[in-house]
Structure 1
Amino acid sequence: MTEVSVRPGSPPAAKSAGRALLLACGAGFIAFLDLSVVNIAFPAIARTYPGTAATTLTWVVSGYAVAFAAFLTPAGRFADALGRVRMFLLALAGFALTSLLCGLAPTAGWLIAGRLLQGVTAALMVPAALGLVLSVTPREKIGAAIGAWSAAGGFAAVVGPALGGGLVEAFGWRAVFFINVPVALALIVATARLALPDTRTPGRALPDPIGTAAVALGLAAVVAGVTEGQRWGWTAPATLACLLLGGLLLLGALIRSRTHHNPAIAVDLWRSRPYALANAGSFVFGAAMFAWLLAGPLFLDAIWGYSVLASAGALTIGAVAAMVTATIAGRLTTAPARRWAGVLGAALFFATLAWMSTGTFGPDPALWSAWMPAGLLGGGGLGLVVTVLGTAAASSLPPQQFAAGIGMNLTARQVGGALGVALLAAIFAAHPDQPLTAFHTLFAVCAGITVLAAVVLAIPAHAGSPEE
């Protein structure tokens, strides 16, 4: 496979860009699907391993999320150094193998180990895929590509519960993992047949191994502490140790990256005001977004008594709205237009959360009068914000650092999301016998977080530019 470097002015073929986008959407779909699809299979998994403590089994769910968030940043650096097609193919093969390991797991320990490794391979796959897309996509069409990819990820999050429920009911929980194998193999075959250029940065060596290990372990420790803090206790030694150790490792990696000739963290990217703002927005909005996405199916189940399939149908409303607005936002060609579209999206999301914190969303189901309009507003706002932030980050990156920059941007969103999920757990723990009050409180707090995200989105990307 030929290795080439892509220059900013190189006119890539439209056919290659379209095919690369389809592959990236497929990879993003299965990677984000596995963040949610296992939730519905968890009760069946627990019955398979009755001798394993429930607190240990929760790592079947959280282990994937922790590993995924931890390795996104170093994964981008590896893709830029080794070649994005090569990394994409290796990651797809790894994802298929680790999914097979999860499906065949004879014990809970094997299953947890498989989920951790599956999260690592998913993290290696996503930045490589997006970096490949951006390297063969004209600058003026990057927004459209990010919009399509965001829509695929959003669709995966919504269909996860329904798909998982159907597979578990028909074939058992192991099918949730086995289904990934043929999909990953199909993507490998399609990628190999397309013979896309293996874009990489000429002469770039692998990133600093010590710094890379510190970044991965630091992010893993922080996300683990935030994710499990409510269960362990926020002042428990395990929680404090994770947060302190993770913070120290990340600080050490950052200091080391400032002077290392091939740093683990591309600190030079953070000197770009547009990129820094995009990451800040992704972090803040990620907290409200992940909490809302998780609260939706919980609300439908606990308060309105919906079945899994009925919940999936209701959640589809927001997913479709997000896909539509993501596509629209991707077609915006100027920075001011994208910026104000992002602010509009945050305003729509805020209005949805504020409305859901009121008595309109009470104990009696109100699908048509409440849930549908809220889903349209919230999903539409989410699609605008996610696409605008992703486009802003991608547009500010030099071509030779596409994968590294995208990896860090996704890390910011995932870490913010982990904080949002921890916030949800803390609020519910404070209202153990009042679930409706807990939901209303959560929605109100997330509305406040969305206001902060709107402020970040409204800041001009280039200081002193009135047109911005």
Structure 2
Amino acid sequence: MGPQRLRAGPVGVWGAMGGLAAASGPTMGSLLVQYLSWRWVFLVNVPICLLAAVFGARVLRESRDENATGVPDPLGVVLMTVALGAAALGIVEGPQWGWDDPRVLGAFLTAALGLPLFVIRTRYAARPAVDLSLLRVRSYSVANAGMLTFAMAFFAVTLANIIFLQTVWHWSVLRSAVAVTPGPLVAGAIAPLAGALADRFSHRAVLVPGAVAFAAAMLLLFATRVGSTPHYVTDWLPAAMLTGVGIGLTFTTLGSAAVASLPPSRFGVGSAINSSFRQLGAVLGVSVFVAVLGTPSTASALDAFHRVWYVMAAVAALSALLCAGIRNRPHQPQPQPQPQPARPGAVTVDS
């Protein structure tokens, strides 16, 4: 048997399921908000999580590091949480409080001091919160950087589009949720294809076009064609569909590309770190969105959203450049052993 490799194909199947869930999520959430209460958005997750736990316990096989003991370094976790929270606070409140406000400067100073302290603590802790040694693997670190930047653009645009439909086009919560549904549906349909293509060609061959498609949707469609007058079919829908193509090609493939260069024994921790980069991208993306959008007047709202789409097109383009640096080779099926021909005079015994 040759070395084990993580295939992108199965990951794409899970990505399709995630895309379908993402498509139904906004619509279900809008129904709960409109007809029940916003609190139900949180309560509805309880039975879903219980179902996932029961189903996962039956079909998933858990692996453990037999040499691992104790819990990850608590001080490292605190340092990382404080540093990232302070950075998000400074970005979000900067436009409102003023970039020279002592509170904003203090938040950025806390982040600037907290991140190096976290790295130092992690290097010398007996049980570090994050295994920084994995970042020495080039393709893994590049894929995590690509995940960070693409997640920034994805989560910022997801929130921006919902708010745009309600504030500029003055659509209801439910109508806005239905309007953004085609994008996740396309992403769910594309994800399995992305996994198969990554297996056959390479992760990079899928990731770069995906990130470019997302950037093009922001730059060439949302920021230039969508105006204050609603034209859903001709202007919004093509942009949403192209965004879905970009998400389907990129998001799940980035996850598999990150850990594909790691040994099988490190898949678990490698995937967890990659998920952390995705969540960090969500925090930073929403923070940047709030800072770029500001508090525009009714007359300037359209220009403010155009500015957001331009910025996120640049962030997605940066993700495409990072993805071009991923050097993982496509999955190669293991050859099946061939029967050896019998030597002349040899006796063959059937078992």
Pairwise TM-score range, normalised by the shorter structure: 0.7 to 0.9
- Does 282-291 or 267-276 show the bigger shift? 282-291
Larger radius of gyration: 2
Structure 1 residue 271: Cα displacement: 0.2
Partner of 1:97: none
Matches within 5 A, 1:163-178: 163-178=28-43
Distance 1:407 1:191, change over 3 A: closer
Aligned-partner residue type, residue 201 of structure 1: D
Aligned-partner residue type, residue 200 of structure 1: R
Structure 1 residue 197: Cα displacement: 4.2
Structure 1 residue 344: Cα displacement: 0.9
Partner of 1:201: 65
Structure 1 residue 392: Cα displacement: 0.7
Aligned-partner residue type, residue 64 of structure 2: R
Structure 1 residue 335: Cα displacement: 7.9
Structure 1 residue 396: Cα displacement: 2.3
Provide the C-alpha distance between the structure 1 equivalents of 2:89 and 2:231, rounded to a whole number of angstroms: 37
Matches within 5 A, 1:417-428: 417-428=282-293
Partner of 2:320: 454
Distance 1:231 1:304, change over 3 A: same
Provide the C-alpha distance between the structure 2 equivalents of 1:8 and 1:224, rounded to a whole number of angstroms: 49
Mapped pair 1:354 → 2:219: yes
Provide the C-alpha distance between the structure 1 equivalents of 2:21 and 2:92, rounded to a whole number of angstroms: 22
Structure 1 residue 333: Cα displacement: 4.6
In 2, are the aligned partners of 1:161 and 1:308 still within 8 Å (CA)? no
Structure 1 residue 275: Cα displacement: 0.6
Which one of 256, 259, 264 corresponds to residue 399 of structure 1?
Answer: 264
Aligned-partner residue type, residue 281 of structure 1: G
Matches within 5 A, 1:26-175: 139-141=5-7, 143-175=8-40
In 1, are the aligned partners of 2:27 and 2:181 still within 8 Å (CA)? no
- Does 150-159 or 257-266 show the bigger shift? 150-159
Provide the C-alpha distance between the structure 1 equivalents of 2:184 and 2:191, rounded to a whole number of angstroms: 10
Mapped pair 1:305 → 2:179: no
Provide the C-alpha distance between the structure 1 equivalents of 2:214 and 2:198, rounded to a whole number of angstroms: 23
In 2, are the aligned partners of 1:281 and 1:453 still within 8 Å (CA)? yes
Provide the C-alpha distance between the structure 1 equivalents of 2:19 and 2:237, rounded to a whole number of angstroms: 17
Structure 1 residue 189: Cα displacement: 3.4
Mapped pair 1:247 → 2:247: no
Q: What SS does structure 2 have at the residue aligned with 1:332?
A: helix
Provide the C-alpha distance between the structure 2 equivalents of 1:316 and 1:386, rounded to a whole number of angstroms: 17
* TM-score, with length taken from structure 1: 0.63
Structure 1 residue 157: Cα displacement: 4.3
Structure 1 residue 446: Cα displacement: 1.7
Mapped pair 1:342 → 2:202: no
Partner of 1:437: 303
Structure 1: give runs of 5+ residues left out of the alignment.
1-6, 10-137
Q: Deviations over 1:103-133 (max 9, x none)?
A: xxxxxxxxxxxxxxxxxxxxxxxxxxxxxxx
Provide the C-alpha distance between the structure 2 equivalents of 1:144 and 1:253, rounded to a whole number of angstroms: 36
Provide the C-alpha distance between the structure 1 equivalents of 2:139 and 2:200, rounded to a whole number of angstroms: 10
In 1, are the aligned partners of 2:194 and 2:206 still within 8 Å (CA)? yes
Aligned-partner residue type, residue 350 of structure 1: A
Mapped pair 1:269 → 2:134: yes
Provide the C-alpha distance between the structure 2 equivalents of 1:157 and 1:224, rounded to a whole number of angstroms: 27
Provide the C-alpha distance between the structure 2 equivalents of 1:333 and 1:377, rounded to a whole number of angstroms: 19
Partner of 1:211: 76
Structure 1 residue 276: Cα displacement: 0.6
Q: Which structure exhibits the higher relative contact order, with contacts defined as CA atoms closer than 8 Å and separated by 6 or more residues?
A: 2
Structure 2: give runs of 5+ residues left out of the alignment.
330-351
In 1, are the aligned partners of 2:211 and 2:246 still within 8 Å (CA)? yes
Q: What SS does structure 1 have at the residue aligned with 2:181?
A: helix
* TM-score, with length taken from structure 2: 0.82
Mapped pair 1:287 → 2:118: no
Structure 1 residue 321: Cα displacement: 1.1
In 2, are the aligned partners of 1:326 and 1:383 still within 8 Å (CA)? yes
Provide the C-alpha distance between the structure 1 equivalents of 2:326 and 2:108, rounded to a whole number of angstroms: 33
Structure 1 residue 228: Cα displacement: 4.2
Matches within 5 A, 1:3-14: none
Q: Deviations over 1:295-340 (max 9, x none)?
A: 1112222222222222222211111111122121112354853212
Aligned-partner residue type, residue 276 of structure 2: T
CA RMSD of the aligned region, Å? 2.7
